[in-house]
Amino acid sequence: MMAFAPGTVFRPRDSSRMSVEQAARYGPELANLQDRMGRLEPEILVDEARPKSSPLHDWFEWDTKKAAHKHHLEQARYLLRSIEIVYKDADQVERTTKGFHNVTVMVAGTPSQVYLSTPVIFSKPDLRSQVIAQAYSELQRWKIRYAEYKELAEFFKPVLEAIEKIVPPQ
């Protein structure tokens, strides 16, 4: 069974670090691979990309030292994304929330992506606004990602309208 109709255009998602050219090159290759293998799994992609002649080869970092460093950075990001904090609100109700948020701050005069704890985020209005804007963007992307599922449509409008009262759409 063909995964995509002929003439399908592949492009990078908004949140991707992939270029338009890369998406156009890799998308059809992934579709062909799925047609051939019946499924896609990370292990299959790595095995298929290993030969230098593979169209997927240049997507991967094959230098072991560089790849290990990138993997360690991803492990660090995962660690920061995986922690939540438990606290009691003003009414002494136990709540849980994300422990750390990724925000942009100035470091040595340069905008930098960093992680800061939720209490720090809550204490600084500019950082709090960033997180709310990120939440709004995530909801917009979620809405787009699942737009073809009409069962979800009724939920989008009130949620997005409520957030727009706090952060106007960008």
| 170/64: higher pLDDT | 64
Q: What is the pTM of this model?
A: 0.70
CA distance to 74, 139, 142, per residue, from 129 (Å)? 26, 15, 20
| C-alpha span between 97 and 64 (Å, rounded) | 36
Per-residue pLDDT of 60-106, as tens digits, reads 999 999 999 999 999 999 999 999 998 888 999 999 999 999 999 99
Hey, what are 23's tokens?
Answer: 């998406």
d(CA 112, CA 109): 9
pLDDT band at 109 (very low <50, low <70, confident <90, very high): very high
Confidence band of 170 (pLDDT split at 50, 70, 90): low
Lowest mean pLDDT among 37-46, 70-79, 107-116, 160-169: 160-169
Give the C-alpha separation, 112 to 115, whole Å. Answer: 10
What torsion do the CA atoms of 163, 80, 146, 30 make, to the nearest 10 degrees? 150
